Structure 1
Amino acid sequence: MTQFSGALERIERLLEAPDRELVRRYPGAAESRQPVHSVYVPAHRFDGGTIASWSGAAQAALGSAGGPQHLLEVHGVPAGAERDRLGELVAAKLQREPIEDLRIDFEDGYGEVGDEEEDAAVDAAVAAVGELRESGELPPFIGIRFKSLEQPTRARGLRTLERFVTGLHRGPGLPHGLLLTLPKVTSVAQVEAMVVALAALEEDLELQPGSLTFEIQVETPQAVLGPDGTSLLPLMITAGQGRVSAMPYGTYDYSASLGLAAGDQSMEHPAADHAKAVMQVAAAGTAVRLSDGSTNVIPVGDRDAVDAAWAVHGRLVRRSLHRGFYQGWDLHPAHLPSRFAATYAFFRAGLEAILDRLERYLAHREGDVMDEPATARAMASFLVRGLDCGAVGADEVPFPESDLRALLSRRVAG
């Protein structure tokens, strides 16, 4: 045996454990559908008519402000056949699927009301989810944000979590897109506690182990930078034992925690960009999805006020999309037209070039861009996201969706 042959054997032994750890910690990006937004509705305002109410209000806001073509003009989309097509798609979306992800809020949007009243609200929420399922209006994703695991709210938060999940399981059934949001996380131990709670629920309800997952809402400085000077986010993801599905950014709690003035609290503040950059690096390759925050500028009032708010919202949605945050929060029905208009315009503006590049890549033909496997995977992801939200029709993509998803599932190296 040569010295080099012996070195190769030692190298394999040396890297065996790191190889296993790499696969465990970084299984790759999530491949299932991700909603383009989350709508947070306070629990006391949620019922079986919420989806229809938001849809109607969104369509009314769009109509009274000038219709889809006026909104797209506000967003800076040039006039023409493509803008006409975009307007049709947005109008259809507001009728077909006005909310992709509905979160029933028992935290900041609900407040402290006492155990008896909150228990009743949880039961009413379970019943309303059943009504939506029965009527065929249940959105693809639905769930709750309960109170944090900080000591003052811990018992109430866990009580709401248990009552909601148990009520769904024993009543209408657990929705396929069930999402549970853990807010104001300040320590790895809180994530570990959430794992304990969900494992106990699964055992009590005889659910498949690991079937209940949750989101870590990043809205405290302690999560982004721990006391030892390192970010706690990678440790939190690891502590989640595969249960952490997403990390949404909380614009206003995070900004306020840093002492920013109310007028400076924004998704595009440098402090927000720093937090989200840390989130992005921490989540890369882990299958944990990211969501940007929200704007509290609401499209209401006269035409000028609505146009100004839509312009702000559309710009912020586009900004997030271009930075790799494909989901955000919407706070008001009038945000929905703007969300879908900006999102659809983003995916359709890049469609022709992506189709051409991916076709050349798969056919091994040269062009003016030399794409690598990782970029091909990103192009497939772009198309799948466009198909999932309805921005792109299956008839516009010359590749079978199954082939695109198969390309997503491949682990690629640069």
Structure 2
Amino acid sequence: MTSANSAPDPGALCAALGRHADARLTTTDDLVRGPWANPVTWRQPVHTVYVPAHLMTGANRDPQIARTWGDAALAALESYGSATGLALALGVPEQDAATVGALTVAKLQREPVEDLRIDFEDGFTQRGVPLEDRDADEDARAAEAADILADWLDADGSGTTGERPGYAPAFAGIRFKSFDPAVRDRGLRTLVIVLSGLAGRGVLTKVLANDPRALRLTLPKVQHHSQVETFVEILEQLEESFGVPESTRIPFEVQVETPQAIVGVKGEAEPARILAAGQGRILSLHYGTYDYSASLGVDAAEQSMEHPVADHAKDVLQVATTAVGVELSDGSTNRIPVGSPEQILDGWRIHHRLVTRHLRRAVRQGWDLHAHQLVTRHLATIAYFRASWEVSAERLRDYVAGDETRWMDEPATAKAMSGYLLRAHACGAVTDEELATTGVSSRDLRTLLVTGRL
């Protein structure tokens, strides 16, 4: 003790207070240093394209479907007139329209599809296949899907090292049927056939070791975190069966399409419990526009990515995924840009507006369901990131240099600007030369994104 008239030793007092805080906050400190300090610093696809399995296997087999869709998008754009003209029609400022249009065409030529899901769930139909033959039909299509994925994920699908073919999406996988009791066994069977095909070609272990985020498995219609816990256990058994090294794990995505996946049965925030149940395997949470809206009784004519119930769900998902190393994706619009030139333009206007809207809300990904939507997916994304890249680069350059004569930015803003520029470059909106004007390397941009400091 110290007497009433004497001051404590500052060093000893600070040390004692520090020990007390350390002891009390051990668990919280682990969260602050770990799960809560893990923003998305890797490349996240700007979209996921869903192609029903029956439209790219069997008689419709098309391993180069990403290129097929890209060519269809370019043809639709050409039929409109010019990319610059479309950019102007969609509200891109006149001074930016030519650049945005040119970059959009380049993107459609180079990488029209970033992420593709071969769909064995809602998009998959077996019309014309007798009921007694449908299991065999899906088995055959799942085996074909494995062949196609092997080709995409590993140069020639043979397990040899090499560059991926130019028509291959950077990210690819399947969506299988949900864990609803009525379809669970069928979904698991399709999953096993696909993973067995990849494992048999030596692709599964290689892609998990080299680029595990490239393989995307989508678990749809999750209603409770116990379904995710069970899926993790199933993946552990599959990994053992396929000889996957213990140092690698099969990741997956969760599709949020039910109100129970937003608010749990006891009123708790279910997305956080879903992420915890995933034990670090969950790559992304994907919002399902139409199943979610319909389950809340929203009439078909009112169902939309911008309906209030959609915004509420995505707000909850955004809070749950922020800074924990999990991506978030918006859903789709079923208003397809097809028909007469006026109808196509109307569809493009709607899609462009919705894509821009979720980018402004900091949701960086969405779904596309038709080749013509690739036009406005990339045009809207490129226009969004072109709009502020120069100012962001200038501010970040001043921040790193310690120049506060024009901007007095804080570390949190530096994080945001770094993430913006990295995404702008990854999607093709900003060139290598333009990114270099920041004076900061890509590696240092990722450091800034995490820490706000160099």
TM-score interval, smaller chain: over 0.9
Per-residue CA distance 1:101-139 (angstroms, 9 max, x = gap): 000100001147732111101111112234444343211
Per-residue CA distance 1:169-201 (angstroms, 9 max, x = gap): 222613430011110000110010111111112
Q: Distance in 2 between matches of 1:303 and 1:366?
A: 51
Q: Is the 8 A contact 2:415 2:452 kept in 1?
A: no
2:221 maps to 1:184: yes
Task: Name which of 388, 392, 404 aligns with 2:430.
Answer: 392
2:74 maps to 1:64: no
Which amino acid in the other structure matches residue 70 of structure 2? Answer: S
Q: Is the 8 A contact 1:123 1:164 kept in 2?
A: yes
Task: Name which of 36, 49, 60 aligns with 1:39.
Answer: 49
Q: Is the 8 A contact 2:173 2:217 kept in 1?
A: yes
Q: Is the 8 A contact 1:62 1:68 kept in 2?
A: yes
Which position in structure 1 is the counterpart of 2:162?
none
Give the deviation of 1:240 after TM superposition: 0.7
Q: Distance in 2 between matches of 1:238 and 1:45?
A: 36
TM alignment of 1:211-230, pairs within 5 A: 211-230=249-268
Which amino acid in the other structure matches residue 39 of structure 1? Answer: V
Task: Name which of 101, 112, 121 aligns with 1:87.
Answer: 101
Q: Distance in 1 between matches of 2:55 and 2:287?
A: 23
Give the deviation of 1:29 after TM superposition: 0.8
Q: Is the 8 A contact 1:43 1:105 kept in 2?
A: yes
2:231 maps to 1:194: yes
Which amino acid in the other structure matches residue 234 of structure 2? Answer: A
Higher relative contact order, chain-length normalized (CA < 8 Å, sep 6+): 1
Q: Distance in 2 between matches of 1:368 and 1:250?
A: 43
Give the deviation of 1:401 after TM superposition: 1.7
Which position in structure 1 is the counterpart of 2:444?
403
Give the deviation of 1:8 after TM superposition: 3.5
Q: Distance in 2 between matches of 1:242 and 1:301?
A: 44
Q: Is the 8 A contact 1:71 1:310 kept in 2?
A: no
Per-residue CA distance 1:322-376 (angstroms, 9 max, x = gap): 0001100011000001110000001011111101110111111114442111210
Which amino acid in the other structure matches residue 400 of structure 1? Answer: S
Give the deviation of 1:222 after TM superposition: 0.1
Q: Is the 8 A contact 2:54 2:125 kept in 1?
A: no
> 3-state DSSP class of the match of 2:404?
coil
Q: Is the 8 A contact 2:253 2:284 kept in 1?
A: yes
Task: Name which of 124, 142, 159 aligns with 2:144.
Answer: 124
Task: Name which of 250, 272, 280 aligns with 2:310.
Answer: 272
Give the deviation of 1:290 after TM superposition: 0.3
Q: Is the 8 A contact 2:398 2:407 kept in 1?
A: no
Which position in structure 1 is the counterpart of 2:244?
207
Which position in structure 2 is the counterpart of 1:78?
93
Which position in structure 2 is the counterpart of 1:100?
114
Task: Name which of 277, 301, 305 aligns with 2:339.
Answer: 301
TM alignment of 1:360-399, pairs within 5 A: 360-397=398-435, 398=437, 399=440
The structure-2 alpha-carbon separation of the partners of 1:207 and 1:69, relative to structure 1 and needing over 3 Å to count, comes to same
Q: Distance in 1 between matches of 2:390 and 2:407?
A: 14
Aligned residues: 411
Which position in structure 2 is the counterpart of 1:169?
199
Q: Is the 8 A contact 2:146 2:193 kept in 1?
A: no
The structure-2 alpha-carbon separation of the partners of 1:148 and 1:411, relative to structure 1 and needing over 3 Å to count, comes to farther
Q: Distance in 1 between matches of 2:216 and 2:289?
A: 20
> 3-state DSSP class of the match of 1:142?
strand
Which amino acid in the other structure matches residue 398 of structure 2? Answer: R
Q: Is the 8 A contact 1:129 1:172 kept in 2?
A: no
Query: Which protein is bigger by CA-based radius of gyration?
Result: 2
> 3-state DSSP class of the match of 2:221?
coil
TM-score by length of 2: 0.87
> 3-state DSSP class of the match of 1:217?
strand
The structure-2 alpha-carbon separation of the partners of 1:54 and 1:288, relative to structure 1 and needing over 3 Å to count, comes to same
Q: Distance in 2 between matches of 1:365 and 1:21?
A: 33
Per-residue CA distance 1:126-176 (angstroms, 9 max, x = gap): 122344443432110001111111111111111111211121122261343
The structure-2 alpha-carbon separation of the partners of 1:308 and 1:322, relative to structure 1 and needing over 3 Å to count, comes to same
Which amino acid in the other structure matches residue 30 of structure 1? Answer: V
> 3-state DSSP class of the match of 1:329?
strand
Q: Is the 8 A contact 2:64 2:167 kept in 1?
A: no
Q: Is the 8 A contact 2:120 2:177 kept in 1?
A: yes
> 3-state DSSP class of the match of 2:408?
coil
User: 23-32 or 323-332, which moves further after superposition?
Assistant: 23-32
Give the deviation of 1:7 after TM superposition: 4.3
The structure-2 alpha-carbon separation of the partners of 1:402 and 1:25, relative to structure 1 and needing over 3 Å to count, comes to closer
Q: Distance in 1 between matches of 2:33 and 2:239?
A: 26
2:65 maps to 1:50: yes
Which amino acid in the other structure matches residue 105 of structure 1? Answer: D
Give the deviation of 1:77 after TM superposition: 1.2
Q: Distance in 1 between matches of 2:336 and 2:284?
A: 26
2:168 maps to 1:138: yes
Give the deviation of 1:407 after TM superposition: 1.9
User: 103-112 or 235-244, which moves further after superposition?
Assistant: 103-112
Q: Is the 8 A contact 2:283 2:326 kept in 1?
A: yes
TM-score by length of 1: 0.95
Task: Name which of 179, 185, 188 aligns with 1:158.
Answer: 188
Alignment gaps of 5+ in structure 1 = none
Per-residue CA distance 1:268-319 (angstroms, 9 max, x = gap): 0011000000001111111010001111111111121111111111111110
Alignment gaps of 5+ in structure 2 = 2-7, 57-61, 157-164
